[in-house]
Structure 1
């Protein structure tokens, strides 16, 4: 078999595409001057102008441990509120937690630290405190046009639920108290460090938390009917549901997030408010995706359902980084097959790029093709960095815009959680 000497090879085509993508990125990258949440410069205007007409904007971070990704996310949110009338913030947390956030920013009830005491672990940071205080201040200045907050997940168990069950048994069946404590004491730690993270860290006590929760619920069987028993049962069932629906309880991340999307859709329908949605890049993606080694359509995130419902009025932004300190670990330079490595070819500390900007055919094909993006969770291991990614069937189908930050420093955890994983 013979070949024409000057016929392009696949390697030549890939090299040419890579060069064209780098050139396009360098020509169209919009510098982000500062990732600090309080920065008031006009550097984000091109990105904000693209988002301004949306009904729902998903802002997804590739890690929840970075000061810089959190800072630029907050800058985008504040500008959409102040200049474009967005009036709701959807958070990856339970409805109960969202109600406390909302009470604080509407009425000043409590204080940010106590509001966050029962929140999902990644929210318990100085950065979140600053966001709550800013929204509270905005609402005080605009009492007739306030920003609301809601959690996208159903009501979930919190540490106080365990106390209700324990108090009931302490008075109604004290002989069962020791057994109940043996089941509840280890599993309530999941509200500080997720069970799957405990397994990764080697601190897990061994028995699946969902089994402990079932045994705790069984200890309420056979006790006399009373309002107190009914209340304790309700709390115990909430505890069991929490562990059944955790990452460890489900055996992985690949669940369908339709209920979370329905919560956003219903809020928008009933209030008419335009919404900013804060979550990870897997959750805001406009397409189903794969996590780690799973298939590209294994995970139906909230964003995929929002795209189905709102169409182009749902706009998704992926906020990623190249390398840096995440507090408990340091992330190295990304592997060459990740979008983050390609974005790193732009010589800027931080920038945004609109994936819908006009481009040559080779770049259009690159945007339409499947893509891997770095995604770092609480079980991240730098030695297994090659597995820390999501894969989407089409980059531009999943995300409308990208924000890339070259180097990251750790989020500032609230003191009581500073050493938690």
Structure 2
């Protein structure tokens, strides 16, 4: 790739390059530039991790979606791994494979950050592609095992309502507060100060004990107990239940690698940059934990240079959950934002670019637990920017995603 991928050498996009009618956001990179980024990502790649520094931006999601479309259309990628459970992703895969319902209804059971109009539009594009390429479709899969879903809570409550109605209120007192974790993660509720107090795993275990104590008077009892145990596992294995993200990387990397190996499909992996980074990261909110292995780290070990890591970050803007100020001077986002271009990108595999940008770095990360008062700690640190990310894409200003009802 020519060296004009360095930041200050990209011309601003012309009006002809700006994509999409309103209310779809105007993408900050031209079609030609997006074509070039996708082509560079695809060279020699089997798995491409495209991570965002936030899940709340229309622009970062839009660029990632547009890159994915090009990787599918022009470079033969046929699988999309998403940060969600196997069951939730199976519903998305069924929809893009021609199943009934709408993109929005397919997202009903998905992890909350996916339940946006932007994601629904992405699914609609994949479905249309698959309709036109029935013999060579795109598959979607989750990087987590099967987990409890809201329907499991409904089934347990319905069983007790029918078989032991006098115990229903007691059961509901345990299940009603904890099922909210499927809308807002328990650790996020704690960070926002809206958590009801008692750990959700404790409520789940008490609910299981209640269900197991009921007379086995219904043929569905075994299924209901199994669902209740799945609910317990969900809360015990959550970030709040474990007290950290430990273990997620190994599980996610194994699922991505095993799916890719079994199918032979070139795969794109969508997640946050703290997961897709090809090198260990230190979270600014928990520096005492030291370097953390990421799914991308393990995928790099498994695939070598055939795992390509791309990061999409931003300088400032309104994310809906908060208005983000300019990044601190010690963040790579501040250095990348030194230009007034709406967006630009770097290929850190190019020797001259790597020489200018490599080294220890901190990058902004805005998660669901973000609060403006600790903005300076909302980042991840890596020992080598070029080891963590092969490609950096920087967007100057962002606006919020549009949540589905």
**Does TM, normalized by the shorter one, top 0.5?**
yes
Q: Residue 317 of structure 1 contacts residue 403 of structure 1 at CA under 8 Å; is this kept in 2?
A: yes
- Cα deviation, 1:247-291, whole Å, max 9, x if unaligned, reads 211223344411111111111111111001110000100012111
CA distance in 2, matches of 1:400, 1:94: 27
Q: What is aligned with 1:324?
A: 317
Match of 2:75 among 84, 106, 110: 84
* 1-structure distance, mates of 2:79, 2:12: 27
Cα displacement string for residues 314-362 of structure 1 (whole angstroms, at most 9, x for unaligned residues): 00001000000001210110001111011011231111110112228xx
* Aligned positions of 1:329-340 closer than 5 A: 329-340=322-333
Return the index of the structure with the highest Cα Rg: 1
Instruction: Tell me which of 15, 37, 48 is aligned to 1:47.
Output: 37
Aligned twin of 1:135: 126
TM-score between both structures, scaled by the size of structure 2 = 0.91
Report the equivalent of 1:147: 138
1:403 to 375, 389, 393: 393
Query: 1:303: which partner in 2?
Result: 296
Q: 1:291, 1:348 → 2: CA distance? A: 29
- Equivalent runs, 1:278-293 vs 2, <5 Å: 278-292=270-284, 293=286
Asked whether the 8 Å contact 2:212–2:225 carries over to 1, the reply is: no
Q: Is the 8 A contact 2:5 2:346 kept in 1?
A: no
Write out aligned runs for 1:85-100 (5 A).
85-100=76-91
Ranges in structure 2 where 5+ consecutive residues have no aligned partner: none
The answer for the alignment partner of 1:113 in structure 2 is: 104
Query: Using the alignment, how far apart are the partners of 1:231 and 1:171 within structure 2?
Result: 15
TM-score normalized with structure 1 length: 0.88
1:137-216 matches, within 5 Å, as 137-216=128-207
Change (3 A) 1:364 1:251: same
- Does 1:219 pair with 2:228? no
**2:348 corresponds to:** 355
* 1:271 maps to 2:266: no
Counting only pairs closer than 5 Å after superposition, residues 245-260 of structure 1 correspond to structure 2 as 245-260=237-252
Instruction: Note the alpha carbon deviations across 1:162-185, whole angstroms, 9 max, x for none.
Output: 011111112222222111000000
Which residue of structure 1 aligns with residue 221 of structure 2?
229
Mapped to 2, the partners of 1:28 and 1:310 lie a distance apart of: 32
**Is 2:59 aligned against 1:68?**
yes
Aligned to 1:387: 377
| Preserved CA contact (<8 Å) 1:316 1:398 | yes
Give the Å deviation of 1:133. 0.4
Q: State whether residues 297 and 392 of structure 1, in contact with CA within 8 Å, keep that contact through their aligned partners in structure 2.
A: no
